[in-house]
Structure formats: structure tokens, C-alpha cells
Amino acid sequence: MLKQAVILVGGLGTRLGEITRLVPKPLLEVAGKPFLDYILDELSRYPAIQDIVLLAGHQAGQVIGRYDGKRWRGASISVISEPGPLGTGGALKHAAPQLDARFLLLNGDSFFDFNMFDLTAPVHPRAIVRVALKRDHAGDRYGRVLLDQDFIKTFLPAGARPNGPINSGIYCVDRDVLSFIDEGPCSLEQAVFPRLAEKGQLRATMYDGFFIDIGVPADFERAQTELPARVRRSAVFFDRDGVLNIDKAYVHKVEDFEWVAGAREAIKLCNDRGYLTFVVTNQAGVARGYYGIEAIHALHDWMSADLARIGAHIDEFQYCPYHEEGVVAEWRQASDRRKPAPGMILDCLKGWPVRKESSLLVGDMSHDLQAAAAAGIKGHLFEGGDLLSFIRPLLDADATSQLTRG
């Protein structure tokens, strides 16, 4: 499972003029916080991403001072400073000792709202680089990408066409790319990608979704209002036992776990539609002494790995190990996180940019729906069957409602 993301934050940002002379472009403030924070927040939605590497150049000391050695939700951040201007390819080669066999690579001056784990899902034949394309992005300041099925054949310069897919600056990369990077300054886009395309090692997937690049003044100003609004999302809360997996009573071992039909696909649909996706599960088996906290974490880690195989993820797992009738003293108490109390849902609402009015919960018990009501979101009772077939019309109805409101 892919665990590393690398972000290129070394560019000079000359088109923005004086404001980037003393501040790295990705650290420019958008609505009160550095643009890079929005990218890190987005990466933090993928619990599997545990290692984030920032490749710094211009004003690298500011990047080091703000981010090096810090944690961003579950991920640790490190900064590698290039000794001189190396270009995007050179910066990557300079970081070679710290690179995993496979990693996400992102430009630090653009934001693209799509399911990044879909880009990491296995495809055959495999290519050294998979590129996320923004579909039909209008405007003349971007180059266009020409495809043969899902293989990139060539790149057209800016202004060559008024519309069509563009390179979003997000890639799933195999470490083998390093063998295509020359020593010294080198550009991935201009020197490496054309060579990969010639060898059939540059594949692409097109996505819809909000995209913005802050490289010119007009788009930097537009980001001030549009980006904060876009990162506030609707959420789907899933109960676990009986909704995502067959309820066999106190499931806590991988060998006992069985996905409900359509459950993984339902989660991926939520991811692809841009919803925050949470699990909120009572785990009284801990208080009753059947298993420990570590068993919950191990099972949820396995679920994340299994979901990653199809390009899906859970943004956060919330669980409550307490029960007032427990036999383990540490966990024997009432808790406002135990459903039907809304604590787990409220913690997600507090910790993430959730659009509460269009969020929903799917549960299989009345106490799930009571928790949803207490938190002020809609609850839906799942009584078995295919979870994908159950969730799709709910999301379709929400999309129609948002179009009507908008």
C-alpha cells in the first residue's frame, strides 16, 4: 500500500511578482493560512499516507521552520532542501535516498479536488508514472495532453487549444523514474515525461473536480474565496458492524471480517463524489474484555489496506470502547461517544470541514439513527442487501438538491 507523498515546493513563482521574492509560493496565504496547508489537509484525508516529504528550494528556510519534523494528522513531515536550483526532476533525484518504491508526487502551487487513491489503484500494464488529468479545463494558459486510450502520447504547448485535458500536477510515481532524470537541473515536465511517453510508460486518468493553480495573480486572488468554500464538504458516516461488514458479534479479527456486498464500492463512490467518509462504531467488546484497543486498530488498518486496492479510503475511523456494564475497569463507564449519544459524530464535525446540512449517516440500528438526529444530520436505516445500491440514490438525491439550491 502506498504510504508516501512528495510535494514540490521549490519554485520561484516569478509570475506573481514581488510577493514571492521573500516568501515561497506555496506558503503564500490563502484566506488566512498558507496555500500548502490546504494540500496537507487534503493528503491527511488518506490515513495510509504516513510520510510527507517537502522538496524545498527558494526560501527553503521558511519551509523548514514551519513544517520540518511536524505531524499533520497521522503523517510525519520532513523537508529536503536542494543545494541550488535543480528543477522538478533534479529536486526529485536529489531526494532519492528518502523516496519509497512508489509514491504520490504533487506540485505545491496547485490544488485538485479528486480521489487521489483512485490514481494509486493497480492497473495493467503498469506504467512508471500515472498522471491525474483535469478534464476539459478551459483557458489558454495551460498546455494540453493528447492521449491514445489512457496512454499519454504528447503534450501541446499553452495556447495550442482552448480546451481539453490538462496536467493537474499530481502523479503516482514508481521510483524507477529516477533512471530517466539527468544529473543537474532537469524538468520532469519538459525533459522526463516526453521520454516516458515515447516508451509507453506515462499513463493518465481523467477526473472532474475543482482545480486551481495560484501561479498567476488572477487565480491567486480567485483562490482566496473559492478554495475555502471548496474544501468544506458533505460527509457520509457509516456504522461498521452490520453496515460495512457482516455482523457476527464482536468482530475484531481479520479472519472473521466479511465485507457486506457492495460495501467497498459504496465507500469508493463516496470518495469519488468528494464526500468526507467516516466510520463511527460502538466497540463494547473492549469494555467486556473480549479484545483490546490494539485489535480495533489492527482491523481498521487492514480495512484501509483492502480498500486501497480498489482506490478507496476512510477519512477517519471513530470508535467507542466504553460500556457502563463492562468488566474491564478502565473502560467501564458511560460515554457521550457511545451511540445513541452523538459524540463520535460531533468529534468529526469539529475536526473536519464538514458541510453539516448535506451530510448523512447510514446505520443498521435505531441507536445509529438516534445519534445522527442528536448530531443534527440525516440518518438512514440499512436493512441489508447491497450497500452500493443503497447509498447511490441517497448521493444522487443530495446532488440534485445541491443543484436546486445552487
Which of 123, 128, 156 is CA-nearest to residue 142? 156
Annotated active-site residue in 109, 239, 272, 315:
239
Query: Which residue is listed with cell 476512510?
Result: 314
The DSSP H or E segment spanning 71 is strand 71-72
Q: What region, left, alpha or beta, does residue 131 occupy, with left being phi > 0 and alpha being psi -120 to 50 degrees?
A: beta
Give the count of beta carbons closer than 10 Å to the beta carbon of residue 54. 28
Omega of the bond leading into 47 within 30 degrees of 0 (cis)? no
Query: Which residue is listed with cell 496536467?
Result: 167
3-state SS, one letter per residue, for 180-219: HCCCCCCCHHHHHHHHHHHCCCEEEEEECCCEEECCCHHH
Contacts of 234 (CB under 8 A, 6+ apart): 274, 275, 276, 354, 355, 358, 359, 360, 398
CA distance 378 to 384: 19
Annotated active-site residue in 118, 241, 364, 398:
241
Q: Judge whether 239 counts as a catalytic residue.
A: yes
Name the H helices within 231-364: 263-272, 293-308, 343-351
Amino acid at 12: L
Which of 209, 224, 222 is CA-nearest to residue 272? 209
Strand partners, 241: 245
**φ/ψ (deg, to 5) at 172:** -105, 120
CA distance 310 to 307: 6
CA distance 130 to 167: 11
* Residues recognised as catalytic: 239, 241
